[in-house]
Homo-oligomer: A and B are copies of this chain.
Amino acid sequence: MIVFKQHGVTAEELPGNWSDRCRKIPAGMRPLAAIRRCRRGRQIYGRGDPAEHWYRIVSGAARKCALKADGRRQIVDFLLPNDFFGFTAAPRHAFAVEAVADGTLVACYPRNRLESIAKVDPELNQFIREAAFEAISRLQSRLLLLGPMTAVTRVGLFLLEMAERSPAVRTSVVELPMSRYDIADCLALSVETVSRALTGLQRRGAIDFDGKRTVRIVDIGALSSDGDGSIATREFIPGLSEVAQSLL
C-alpha cells in the first residue's frame, strides 16, 4: 500500500470528483444521442463549423484547441469521459475539438432538438445549465494553472487535476491520455520544459512512472510545493476537492 510521506494518507483515499460528474442523464435527451467513434487526432468539429450539436465524451479523451498563426497550438481544455462540450451562444464554434485517445467515443446531441425539449422539460434544463456551469469551473481552474508560477509547480498541479478528474479507482495512479506536446500546449510551456519538469518531480520523489504515460503520485506534498519547499497553492485551486485543498 502506498502511503503519502507527508500526511499518512493512503493512495486509495486521494479524493476524486469523478463520481460527481456521473449524474444521471435526463431521459429526454438519451434517445437523441448519436455515438461517433474517433481515431487519434481525428477532428470532432473544427473552428468555424456551425454549432449544431452539443457533445459528451463517452470514453477516451479529446482536446479543445486554437491554432495560432505560427502553427503552434493552444489547448484550452481537455475533455474526459462525461464532460459536455460544444456549448456556445454563437452560431459557430470558436475552437476545434480533436480526439486525443484512439477510439474515443463521443455522443452527439442535436442542438435544436435539445433546445426544443428543454422548453418543456425543467429537468433537462437544469441538467444543461449545470453542465455549462461545470465547464465554467473547469475553465476557471485552468486559468489558475496559467498564472505566474514555475514550470515544475504548473506540471505538478496539472497532474493533480488529472488525478482528480480521472475515473480510476486508485486515483494515485494517473493515466495520461495525451502526449507531452499536448501537455505543453495546455500549460503554455515548451515540450522540453514539460519533460524536464516531470523528470525533476521524479528525482524529487514526488512521482514515479509505470511507463511514459502512467504516473504514480508518491508524495503529494512534494508534488504541489515549490522547489524550495514553500507551499505555493494553499487556498488557491478552487477546482480541487476539499480534501486535496487541505493537503496542499
Question: Chain A: residues with CB nearer than 8 A to chain B?
Answer: 47, 66-70, 72, 74, 76-77, 87-90, 94-95, 115, 118-120, 122, 125-126, 128-130, 132-137, 139-140, 142-144, 146-148, 188-190, 230-236, 238-239
CA distance A147 to B142 in the complex (A): 12
CB-defined contacts of A190 to chain B, threshold 8 Å = 148
What are 7 inter-chain pairs, A to B, with CB distance below 8 A? A67-B236, A69-B235, A88-B133, A89-B134, A115-B126, A118-B125, A146-B147
Contact B238 A47 (CB under 8 A): yes
Residue from B90, B122, B231, B236 within 8 A of A119 (CB atoms):
B122
Residues of B within 8 A of A129 (CB): 128-129, 132
Cα of A232 to Cα of B74 in the assembled complex, Å: 13
Contacts of A87 in B (CB 8 A): 132-133, 136
| A128 surroundings in chain B (CB, below 8 A) | 129
B188 touches A137 (CB 8 A): no
Q: Do B122 and A235 have beta carbons less than 8 Å apart?
A: no
Tell me the smallest distance from the CB of A150 to a CB of chain B, in Å.
Answer: 12
Nearest-neighbour CB distance to chain B for A59, whole angstroms, equals 23
Whose C-beta in chain B lies nearest to the C-beta of A248? B69
What residues of B have a CB within 8 angstroms of the CB of A139 in the complex?
A: 136, 139-140, 143
What chain B residues lie within 8 Å of A126 (beta carbons)?
Answer: 115
Q: How far is the CA of A128 from the CA of B245 in the complex (A)?
A: 31
Shortest CB distance A180–B (Å): 15
Q: How far is the CA of A122 from the CA of B118 in the complex (A)?
A: 8
CB-defined contacts of A140 to chain B, threshold 8 Å: 76-77, 94-95, 139
Q: Which residues of B contact A94 (CB under 8 A)?
A: 137, 140, 238-239
- Residue pair B233, A69 in contact (C-beta under 8 Å): yes
Which of chain B's residues has its CB closest to A184's CB?
Answer: B148
Q: Which residues of B contact A95 (CB under 8 A)?
A: 140, 238
> Which residues does chain B contribute within 8 Å of A67, judged by CB atoms?
235-236
Q: Are A89 and B233 in contact (CB under 8 A)?
A: no
A232 contacts B70, CB within 8 Å? yes
A104 CB to nearest chain B CB (Å) = 21
Q: Is the beta-carbon distance between A66 and B238 smaller than 8 angstroms?
A: yes
Q: Are B137 and A88 in contact (CB under 8 A)?
A: yes
